[in-house]
Amino acid sequence: GSLLALILGVSRTTLAMARDRHLPHALAAVHPRFEVPHRAELLVGAVVAVLAATADLRGAIGFSSFAVLVYYAVANASAWTLRPEEGRPPRLVPVVGLAGCLLLALTLPVA
């Protein structure tokens, strides 16, 4: 369930990175009828399926949790750079968010 929940978020991140040419541009395709990043979702789904079939799921879930916390830490650090006219939150919000993400990531079991 944890890995499945990541498919939508990671596929949209994959779409954005493909649009910026950080990943193959073919992954930036959006389905004309359903308006979803179908190629990115298929790729991410395949990776999750391979992980679920071959890896120790406890390790995969732990790594997934760590990666999501680091991802949100980066998002909070990025929010610090926004200008007020871009809708910047009060400076305390990204600082607390970044600190919370890093604290949680560092307290996860090492295994």
Task: Using the Cα atoms of residue 106, residue 107, residue 110 and residue 111 in order, give the sign of their dihedral.
Answer: negative
Do 109 and 61 have their domain in common? yes
Give the pLDDT mean for 22-37: 96
Count of domains in the chain? 2
Please report, as a single letter, which amino acid is at residue 36. Answer: V
Residue 2 reports pLDDT greater than 70: no
Query: Who has greater pLDDT, 87 or 19?
Result: 19
Would you mind telling me the total number of residues written for the chain in this entry?
Answer: 111
Which residues neighbour 110 within 8 Å (Cβ) at sequence distance 6 or greater? none
Taking the C-alpha atoms of residue 30 and residue 18, their distance in angstroms, rounded to an integer, is 11
Residue 19 reports pLDDT greater than 90: yes
Residue 95 has a pLDDT of 94
CA nearest neighbour of 3 among 74, 58, 40, 42: 58
pLDDT in tens, 39-65: 999 999 998 888 888 888 787 778 888
Domain that holds residue 11: 1-54
Taking the C-alpha atoms of residue 29 and residue 32, their distance in angstroms, rounded to an integer, is 9
pLDDT in tens, 81-109: 888 887 788 889 999 999 999 999 999 88
Do 83 and 93 have their domain in common? yes
Residue 57 has a pLDDT of 79
Residue 6 has a pLDDT of 76
Do 39 and 83 have their domain in common? no
Residue 86 has a pLDDT of 79
